[in-house]
Structure 1
Amino acid sequence: MTPAAAPCGTWPSPVGARLVAAHDGRPEYVDTVGQEVWWTEPRPAEDGRRALLRLRAGDAGTAGKTEPEFVLPPPWDVRSRVIEYGGRPWAGAERPAAGPLVVFVHHADQRMYALEPDVPGARPYPLTPLPPAGEGPRWADPVVLVARGEVWCVLEESTGPAPTDVRRVLAAVPLDGSAAADRSRVRELTDGTDRFVTGPRLSPDGRHAAWLAWDHPRMPWDGTVVRLAEVTAEGTLAEVRAVAGGEAESVAQADWAADGTLLFSGDASGWWNLYRLNDPATALCPREEEFGGPLWKLGHRWFAPLADGTVAVLHGRGPLRLGVLDPVTGRLADVPGPWTEWAPALAAAGTRVTGVAAGPRGGYEVVELDTATGHTRVVGAAPPGPVDPAYLPEPVERVVRGPGGREVHALLYSPRNPRYTVPEGELPPYVVRAHGGPTGRAAAVPDLETAYFTSRGIGVVEVNYGGSAGYGRAYRERLRGSWGVTDVEDCAAVARALAAEGTADPARLAVRGGSAGGWTAACSLVSPAAEDLYACGVIAYPVLDPEDWAGGGTHDFESRYLEGLLGSPAEHPERYRERSPLRGADRITVPFLLLQGLDDPVCPPAQCDHLLAAVAGRGVPHAYLAFEGEGHGFRRAETVARAVEAELALYARVFGFERGDVPALELTE
């Protein structure tokens, strides 16, 4: 069928808002329990909970597909709030005579529970105390030690009323449930000297433990240390010492090889590379590529040692691919297959490696590789099938030149619909997206939210601006002291390049971002660097007032993040004032949509209230949608669908096309 020419934005599409919401999110926290594969998976239609799934050993359905089963029914929600962004919320151990034993954190009360799923009639039982009124202790990154009768994990608890009154330690929790009613039964393994810690990794012989630690004002991608300790017969940690990393070196992960040597991913060379701990540390495959990434959640895994001494690794510039590294020869063999982007969620058992991966034409799925045979198979969470792939856009990597000739990386998603094409003489509108973090990266994976717009004739370009991870430490540190400048300039450079080459309509450009990307979007509407460039903006759960944020207006993990992004408030107060979208709100002249969760501890809704007050009565059309029960990022299906439809309604109004299939967006001036 020959595609019909129709105005951009008006194309009918089978990618509806409810479909986008139903498939929002991706699998996380893959691990093995014996020969079984387990992972968590989002359930937007079930109040946004994270379900725990299990694939029994030997399960296989037709055509190589498998049938995972749900371990816990609603409303069980396997999700930790440690450092607010969370961390690995579950772990399991195989017991040959009794079946698996699994521990997990339930989001509603943040208690840790245990479950024996193969015991008839078994129900989860609590391992940790019921939280008192208000915030209670939180737990993450557990390791189940059946022989010791304990779970070793990270304990986070408040010490006062301020968001920054927090301590974190490694702790041992009894598996018999005795600590559920008696907090004193929890053994603290470290003394709280380090502000932040990850869960312990025990050596194969159980005699040593290693973990990562860092302190304010550093973020984990700025500088971390690997701590190593001896595990005594009494189950305490002795002779604790730092063995790798430092204030100016980030170690993203540390783990043990099968032979008992310690491996870690560190960026001493300017790139996260894999090292073996000795004196000095030995780089196993030195390359100007990343073998690690920013540790936004405790328990991310970019490498997994295998029993034969090889190591499964994620590596690359920008997109990460899976390879198997021989640490003796340094040979790295990439795994064939359609997957071009792997999430930091590797697990290994015997010769098998399991991870979460996606390709340029599909969503994330759980993939297993048998390194002995080279065979790969999808074991769970395959991409949704209700949409013809012809409606899905394909990412095209672009590099444009920003100010001073610097490289700016971007992912271009052109309008794509098999039934429609852009009319002659018309250029499509484009949405310039700024990712969150800002120390993050837009992955080259076309999710259904992107397809929602591209299948209607609206292009999308995601900008991995200076400061993004994936391109080496120097690229990551371009944002140091220049947040609100470099990111804004780089997004503007991409937008102008697309307009200059005739890809995008220069009169129909929008800027959009969430969290730190919301800051970039808001700054783009007030910055001289993007003056008269964007016709409208979408700002989701944003940072808007850096002075308030740095003064106790956010959670502990990021409470001093701005010292790297903007500089010390005491030494550079002008940056906090001059770059604030709130202080520059009088320069906003184009329509915008503001989206916010009312239970957001990272970017509290008060900042949105201040922006609305600043633009009130100034004649700038705007809309504000606030969602009860949503935190930082939206999880519930109804919220995701409403936000997507509202964004399309804004573009329809500003870009001048009709959409009868979405609710009209009421704008206030």
Structure 2
Amino acid sequence: MVEIASYGTWESPVTALEAARAGGGPQWVWLHGGAVWWACSLPSEGGRLELLRDGAPLLGAPWNVRNRLHEYGGRPYAVVDVPGGGVRVAFTNWEDQRIYLLDPDGGGGPAPITVEPSVRHGVRYGDLVAGPDGESVWCVRESVTGPAPTDVVREIVSVPLDGGEPVVLAASHRFMAGVRPSPDGAHLAWLGWDHPDMPWDSAELCVAGVGGGHRVVAGGSGESVCQVEWDGSTALLALTDPDGWWNLHRIGFDGSRENLAACERELGGALWKPGQTWFAPVGDGYRYAVLASGSLAVLDERGRTVTPVEVDLPVWQAGIVVSGGVVAGVAGGPLVESSVVTLDLSSGEVTHHSEAAAPHARYLPEPELRVFSRPDGQRVPAWVYLPFNPDFVAPEGELPPFVVHVHGGPTGRFAPALDLDLAFLTSRGIGVVAVDYGGSTGYGRAYRERLRGQWGVVDVEDCAAVAEALAAEGTADGGRLAIRGGSAGGWTSAASLTSVSVYRCGMVAFPILDLAGWTAEGGETHDFESRYVEGLVGRLPEAERLYRERSPSGRADRLAGPVLMLQGLEDEICPPAQAERFMAGLAGSGVPHAYLAFEGEQHGFRREATIVAALEAELSFYGQVLGFVPSGVPVLGLSS
């Protein structure tokens, strides 16, 4: 029997614990030797990253297949065919950041092939690929040179599997990624960029003879190459955007280029983690598996077409590979949990290699993609999740509270894959809308660059416009709007709460709050993003006033309502100092607030207990501020 109860009070079987356990998941898929390999994050083991082959764990605790390349981490393992037969797996380990070698069939344990640095995490490796000789792994090496977060140098190196001294292959830019040896082993291709650019602003495609100087054959100012692969040994295939969209091009050593299927669609994405891939050759010389704005498609260069693959898995993570006409990756959808899948392009047969079941399917919301218009006519896409629970309805005439969900980045996008964090809210009667505000990827360079110089303005205005539109049409209760986000989404949430009066409250997780501190000079972030703000807001000292005016840290007295702050105490990207200063400023202010800091957590929460505590605190927080009593969660203590 369906029960009548106010929004926010509905009872739901979607628990915070289930959401936490689904919060890890597979990543870094590879095909080799007829097997499917991947890494998987395990929240129940503190977020440890395990390495698996055909679903069987290869390492076990305490091994943790992560690295700190560019702080977010790059591809952490490579499978190598060794001379004489057999395979070895080279992988990075979080605790010491060294590369280890494993014989997956030999029964012995991993052995280190790089030396232990004199300073913990003083040398890091990532973006691993098999060397062409079967006796090495090629990767990016990151070496700490001083005490500041920006005291780092990077090189592309060949690491011998026998533990010999690594050989430097290239050192072209401050940042490098996408290491690719040619099939004949004579050349090396890679991507490089320098401060103040981020890779989605400008990135160059470099090629060099092994041991020789490099030349740039694509990319540069205003053009971003996000992936490169070899087309034989004398040409390259690259995702790049000279015309404003990441399309697939064939690039010659002389810089000549051919767009294989020109289209106003994004076939690439923001290179946050070195080693991410959005396309792979099928193997017949003219077709390529591509991710078109996150969905699987096939590009046919003969017909210059990009055709969606008809499969009930609409959301694919960056990281696809192809072997023998079979595509492998991590895929899912709004009602299907993301899992490792293979898809035979000739038959259409899909095989799930990891757990794909969605708990409590009857309680999962199905989002609707809508496009909202701002007063100036600018269109803003957003995914709307209405409150949904088959066991409850709200009293007639009552409108639901709604939470604006802000994705991170900010150069990122919202992927409408199953997210039990959101179902935890919607199944209790709280609506959610996820906004792809100006600056989001997937809509071309022009939309991405709407945020250039306007961070803290365009993102705030876009989110507010969507929230106000939902209230105006009667979908949401305009008096019970909230905002939530982490990292750059935490910035937008905090900036919104301190600059507009749309929201009653907000949840802010591991955020940027002080622009001046979140720079190379301020010393409160890592090297990769230490000059990101220059493109998002402006350069110092010219933009000093904008830094001060837009930073939530200087506007705590203008908070529109209560705030819940969540922070990991080992966060190197958005360190706790900023959150602690902000919350200290609220003491005695009369504004209800809470600050939860978690030992052992870095940027983004990985531990099961942390995720449970954060979700239950957030629900209790909304209930206290928005006027309902949620079921089954502890009451969060608020200070004022």
Common fold, TM-score beyond 0.5? yes
Deviates more, 1:346-355 or 1:630-639: 346-355
Any stretches of 5+ residues in structure 2 without a counterpart? Answer: none
Aligned equivalents of 1:122 and 1:199: distance in 2?
31
Question: Which residue is 1:204 aligned to?
Answer: 183
Deviation at 1:42, TM superposition (A): 1.2
Q: CA–CA distance in 2 between the matches of 1:377 and 1:314?
A: 19
- Deviation of 1:315 after TM superposition, in Å, equals 3.8
Any residues of structure 2 matched to 1:142-541 within 5 Å, and which?
A: 142-145=128-131, 147=133, 149-178=135-164, 185-190=165-170, 192-231=171-210, 236=211, 238-258=212-232, 261-278=235-252, 280-316=256-292, 319-384=293-358, 387-527=359-499, 530-531=500-501, 533-541=502-510
Moved more, 454-463 or 24-33: 24-33
Following superposition, the deviation at residue 26 of structure 1 comes to: 3.0
Matched with 2:596 is: 625
Specify the SS of the correspondent of 1:518: helix
Partner of 1:9: 8
Is contact 1:362–1:447 with CA below 8 Å preserved after alignment?
no
- Against the structure 1 CA distance between its residues 118 and 49, is the aligned structure 2 distance closer, same or farther, given a 3 Å change threshold? same
Distance 1:259 1:158, change over 3 A: closer
* Amino acid across the alignment from 2:466: V
- Rounded to whole Å, the distance in 1 between the matches of 2:140 and 2:461 is 39
| 1:47-91 Cα shifts (integer Å, max 9, x gaps) | 111111111xxxxxxxxxxxx111111111111111111110011
Q: Secondary structure at the match of 2:477?
A: coil
1:664 aligns with 2:635: yes
Q: Shift in Å at residue 292 of structure 1?
A: 0.2
Whole-Å separation in 2 of the counterparts to 1:138 and 1:162: 16
Give me the whole-angstrom Cα distance separating, in 1, the residues matched to 2:232 and 2:303: 17
1:555 CA drift (Å): 0.3
Q: Aligned-pair distance for 1:376?
A: 2.3
> Unpaired runs of 5+ in structure 1?
56-67, 179-184
Residue 370 of structure 1: how far off its partner (Å): 1.8
Q: Distance in 2 between matches of 1:274 and 1:4?
A: 53
3-state SS, counterpart of residue 324 of structure 1: strand
Matched ranges for 1:27-66 at <5 A: 27-55=26-54
- In the alignment, is the contact (CA less than 8 A) between 2:14 and 2:360 conserved in 1? no
**TM-score scaled by length of structure 1:** 0.93
- Is the Cα contact below 8 Å between 1:291 and 1:313 reproduced in 2? no
Q: Please tell me whether the aligned partners of residues 90 and 102 of structure 1 are also in contact (alpha carbons under 8 angstroms).
A: yes
Asked if 2 retains the 8 angstrom alpha-carbon contact of 1:258 and 1:306, the reply is no
CA distance 1:315–1:173, shift in 2 (3 Å): closer
Change in 2 beyond 3 A, CA 1:15/1:96: farther
Distance of aligned partners of 1:171 and 1:259 in 2 relative to their CA distance in 1, 3 Å threshold: closer
TM-score of the pair, normalised by structure 2: 0.97
Using the alignment, how far apart are the partners of 1:97 and 1:336 within structure 2? 42
**Contact in 2 for aligned 1:257/1:306 (Cα 8 Å):** no
Asked if the contact 1:355–1:367 (Cα under 8 Å) also holds between the matched residues in 2, the reply is: yes
Q: Take 1:158 and 1:545, find their aligned partners in 2: how far apart are those partners?
A: 25
Match of 2:126 in 1: 140
Distance in 1 (CA, whole Å) between partners of 2:302 and 2:181 is 23
Q: 2:66 maps to what in 1?
A: 79
Determine which of 78, 81, 88 is the counterpart of 1:94: 81
Aligned residues: 636
Alignment of 1:558 with 2:502, yes or no, is no
1:648 paired residue among 610, 615, 619: 619
**Cα deviation 1:619-665 (Å, max 9, x = unaligned):** 01100000000000000000000000000000111121123511111
The C-alpha deviation readout for 1:355-399, integer Å capped at 9, x for no partner, is 111122122111212223332222223234xx2311001111011
CA–CA distance in 2 between the matches of 1:106 and 1:135? 10
Instruction: Confirm whether residue 546 of structure 1 aligns to residue 526 of structure 2.
Output: no
Instruction: For residue 307 of structure 1, report the CA deviation from its aligned partner.
Output: 2.0
Alignment partners' CA distance in 2, 1:414 and 1:588: 27
The 10-residue stretch of structure 1 (433-442 or 142-151) with the greater mean CA deviation from structure 2: 142-151
What is the identity percentage for the equivalent residue pairs of Structure 1 and Structure 2? Answer: 51
> C-alpha deviations, 1:258-314, integer Å up to 9, x for none?
575310000111110110113531101111000100000000000011221244333
Residue 575 of structure 2: aligned partner: 604
Question: Which residue is equivalent to 1:62?
Answer: none
